[in-house]
Amino acid sequence: MNKYKCIRVLNVVDTQRNFTKIAPLLSAMHKSDQFYPLLAYVGQHYDEISSVFFDDLKIKKPDILLGCTGGSHAEYTAKIMLAFEPILLKNSIDLIVVEGDVNATLACSLVASKLHVPIAHIEAGLRSFDHKMPKEINRILTDKISDYLFTTCEDAKQNLLKEGFSSDKIFFVGNLMIDTLYNIWPKTTSAPPIHTKSCCPNKYGLITLHYPLNIDIPNNFHAILKALDTIQKELPLIWPIHPNVRNAMKIQGIEQWIQSMKNLTFLDPLSYIDNLSLMKNAHVVITDSGSIQEETTALGVPCLTVRQNTEHSVTITQGTNQLVGIDTDGILKGFYNISKTPFQPTPPSLWDGQTAPRIVKILKEHCFPIIPHKEPKVLL
């Protein structure tokens, strides 16, 4: 071990999407002569997603598996805290890095804060202003106890300043996920990665839906599907579908209706590279995912966000994103608006593929100006 790599950074990841955010930062830290980066995965088995994310993104195997699985928000958060506390107690960690707004982000931050381990929050300051969303609570509380706040856009910085945060804690660095998108771009195909006659570039729509509010409430799900039924008669639709969504369709007794949609093609969940290939070749993406709102903005692909609000407002003001709600008429209006009003997106500032090096530079110069020249005590 290089004796100068003495800044021990524990990067915590939970959801698959957060791997796309941490990958470039891990790479930049490994290239540095000062950082000793570690990766903690909150789930039980990384093998089940290794071919989809670890292999595609060239991420090393996690140093730590916390082995936590679901339950209610309270149960899952408590499980993570109980599993994470011994890691920090037994190991000398100089900084933890948490991503986004999932339960693990808040849980690990709470543990670190009480043990006086500094916290860096990636994607700080994003706000939907909807306190009924668990992720909004996670975002707000994580920001409150973090020592370093790295933001993806100017809007996020302004949100933090309005909430009374010191500007000394806020660092506008850009979007790590766009670093990954640019890194992976050469590996994507110039045509959709599935073989159907109707799936030609710019001649199909891509669907990604997973929010419980949209899927588990029958009235909402039916309103969305009614819009999709109309759209698929004019444009073939492709839907890489999660098993939980299939199960919701079965429970709600709507499988026969969906099967009658002749231009709607279901796929099993795809690798990151294949999903990106589908996205960049789509005429429109219909989603409730925050990450995909950002990726479509970077790709210049029209996006219809099936939600009442979004924490990624920059994708609307500068990107290709329309917030269309969860009612049939709103979704259809957004769809027809694509051809009536061509999008002219302006890439958000610092979404240039260089966010990870900026974060590492800031950590060196502002967070650790004095390097602890000692052998890292990492037991794990």
Quote the tokens at residue 244. Answer: 């939980």
Any idea of the CA torsion for 227, 228, 230, 235, to the nearest 10 degrees? 140
Task: Considering the candidates 30, 45, 73, 210, report the single residue annotated as catalytic.
Answer: 210
What is d(CA 239, CA 366) in angstroms, rounded to the nearest whole number?
Answer: 45
Q: Report the length, in residues, of the chain.
A: 380
210: annotated active-site residue: yes
What is d(CA 303, CA 321) in angstroms, rounded to the nearest whole number?
Answer: 5
Confirm if 302 and 339 have CB atoms less than 8 A apart: no
Q: Is 31 exposed, middle or buried (0-12, 13-18, 19+ CB in 10 A)?
A: exposed
What is d(CA 14, CA 40) in angstroms, rounded to the nearest whole number?
Answer: 8
Confirm if 30 and 58 have CB atoms less than 8 A apart: no
197 C-beta neighbours (distance < 10 Å), count: 6
Active-site residue set: 210
